[in-house]
Amino acid sequence: MSIENMPKDPMMLLSFVNTRMRDDALTLEELAAQFDVDADEIISKLAAIDYTYDAENRRFV
């Protein structure tokens, strides 16, 4: 799955990413590898709506 196949709406992407990381106990890097996407692309898209990755808690806040 590429970033293009993930939800396009930033809020939906946020929900998708946080849910997958929580449910599967994944870090952002592990999630990105699982879906064959660049973690920086996810970070960039969510930064556009003022969310940053909290590595300690494995979620965007």
- pLDDT digit string (tens) for 15-56? 999 999 999 999 999 999 988 899 999 999 999 999 999 999
As a whole number of Å, the CA-based R_g of the chain is 10
Domains in the chain: boundaries: 3-60
Angle (deg, nearest 10), helices 10-24 and 39-47: 130
Residue 59: beta bridge partners? 54
Q: pTM (2 decimals)?
A: 0.88
Alpha helices in 1-61 (DSSP H): 10-24, 28-34, 39-47
